[in-house]
Amino acid sequence: MRLLLEKQFGPIGRKILIFSIVCLAALVVFIVFALPAHGSSQRSVKPSMESQQESRIARVPILSYHLVRPSYPRDDWLIKEYLVTSDVFDEEMNYLSSNGYHVIPFSALEAYIDEGTPLPPKPVIISFDDGWENQFAYAFPILQKYRLTATFFIYTNAIDSTNHLTWGQVKTMSDAGMVIGSHSLSHPFLAKIADATDLWREIADSKKIIEEHIGKTVNEFAYPYGSYNQATIADVEKAGYKSARKFSIFSTSVFHSKGDMYALSAIPAPNSLPDFERALDQ
Ligand SMILES: [Zn+2]
């Protein structure tokens, strides 16, 4: 072959021919592998969308409040651990409003991670746990005063019982733009529930009950005591929630990504403005 080429085209002609063959081969390789085939365009787009979701990281402090009311002399250490006095809560909301923070709902974080919908500068999420009546009496009016929204995670068995919200108050807050999330039926340690039906009821039935009362879809779940495992997460996803928040009194994390949308970290809201400022800045 080599001899034949040299005979017909001479040494230079042979080099040009070999160069042309290499170029042609490279072109064929490019067409086959680099250009998306008509029918497979969806296949080539999907992995890139997933990788975009995987790579998005949001810095959003998620604040978790429990009791908001004046402090009483009889308050014990446990209450003090979970209490933000109404005066301090007012200072904290005022601080957010006057320092360029944007209070967003969980849905904005979900939209950013899933679709890349941009977040406003300095985003913060405010959440409340356990459906205490003092949240309606003290926190709700202060939120309205600063035109801020928050998510209230309620466990349905407690509603209409002593010291807890009534369904009327839940509906009033929902109608006023507050988001209502589920915190289960009975506030158990979900990771300790062995019976699959019981676990499903805590997660899925609580969602349905709240939806019937407020007439809106419930998209967020908060694990009581921050207790969850793979089975819990699987049920939360299957029930149709878009994200779930965990809780630990030691948590300081403010970063979120696709991988932890069902285990979002929250910061326990401090009962002091300087500590609150430090928590947001970390
Ligand atoms: Zn709780």
Mean pLDDT over 258-274 rounds to 96
Confidence tier at 11 by pLDDT (50, 70, 90): low
Q: Is the pLDDT of residue 44 over 60?
A: no
pLDDT digits (tens, 9 = 90+) for 173-187: 999 999 999 999 999
**What CATH code is carried by the domain that includes residue 151?**
3.20.20.370
Q: Is the pLDDT of residue 19 over 60?
A: no
Cα 141 to middle of ligand 1, angstroms: 22
Query: Length of the chain, please?
Result: 282
Per-residue confidence band for 54, with pLDDT thresholds at 50, 70 and 90: confident
Are residue 72 and residue 106 in the same domain, yes or no? yes
Ligand 1 midpoint to CA 90 (Å): 22
**Cα 224 to middle of ligand 1, angstroms:** 4
User: Domain check: are 64 and 115 in the same one?
Assistant: yes
Distance 18 CA to ligand 1 centre (A): 74
Long-range contacts of 170-176 (CB under 8 A, 24+ apart): 170/131, 170/210, 170/213, 170/214, 171/213, 171/214, 172/136, 173/136, 173/140, 174/214, 174/216, 176/140, 176/144
CA of residue 225 to ligand 1 center, whole Å: 6
Same domain, 89 and 226: yes
- Ligand 1 center from residue 58 Cα (angstroms): 25
pLDDT at residue 242 tops 80: yes
pLDDT tens for residues 193-230? 999 999 999 999 999 999 999 999 999 999 999 999 99
Ligand 1 centroid to residue 164 C-alpha, Å: 12
Residue 227 gets the label, from left (phi > 0), alpha (psi -120 to 50) or beta, of beta
Residue 177 is classified by DSSP as T
Alpha helix ranges (H) inside 56-161: 77-82, 86-98, 106-115, 133-134, 140-145
41-45, 68-72, 210-214, 215-219: segment of lowest average pLDDT: 41-45
Cα 133 to ligand 1 centre (Å): 14
Supply 276's token pair. Answer: 């609150």
Residue of 141 and 48 predicted with greater confidence: 141
Specify whether 31 is located in the same domain as 121. Answer: no
* Domain assignment of residue 151, yes or no: yes
Q: Are residues 26 and 74 in the same domain?
A: no
Q: Give the pLDDT band of residue 190 (cuts 50, 70, 90).
A: very high
Domains identified in the chain, total number: 2
139 and 273 inside one domain: yes
How many Å lie between the centroid of ligand 1 and the Cα of residue 201?
Answer: 17
Secondary structure (3-state) at 58: strand
Same domain, 88 and 213: yes
Are 139 and 26 in a shared domain?
no
Residue 39 has pLDDT above 80, yes or no: no
Residue 46 lies in a domain: no
Give the Å distance between the CA of 54 and the centre of ligand 1. Answer: 30
What pLDDT is stored for residue 31 in this prediction?
43
Q: Measured in angstroms, how far is the CA atom of residue 55 from the centroid of ligand 1?
A: 31
Q: Are residue 68 and residue 19 in the same domain, yes or no?
A: no
Same domain, 23 and 130: no
Domain region containing 166: 59-281
State the Cα–Cα distance between residues 71 and 127, nearest whole angstrom: 20
In a shared domain, residues 133 and 270: yes
- Does position 40 have pLDDT exceeding 90, yes or no? no
Does any domain span residue 49?
A: no
Which pLDDT does position 53 carry in this prediction? 72
Give the residue-averaged pLDDT of 105-115: 96
Instruction: Return the pLDDT at 282.
Output: 79
Is residue 71 assigned to a domain? yes
Same domain for 93 and 196, yes or no, is yes
**Where residue 147 falls among pLDDT bands split at 50, 70, 90?**
very high
Distance 26 CA to ligand 1 centre (A): 63
Instruction: Sort 22 into a burial class: Cβ within 10 Å, 0-12 / 13-18 / 19+.
Output: exposed
* Ligand 1 center to 117 CA (angstroms): 30
**174 belongs to a structural domain:** yes
Asked if 166 and 160 count as a contact pair (C-beta separation under 8 A), the reply is yes
User: Residue 53: inside a domain, yes or no?
Assistant: no
Q: Would 238 be classed as within a structural domain?
A: yes
For residue 103, how far is its CA from the centre of ligand 1 (angstroms)?
22
Q: Which residues have a beta carbon within 5 Å of ligand 1, which is an ion?
A: 129-130, 224
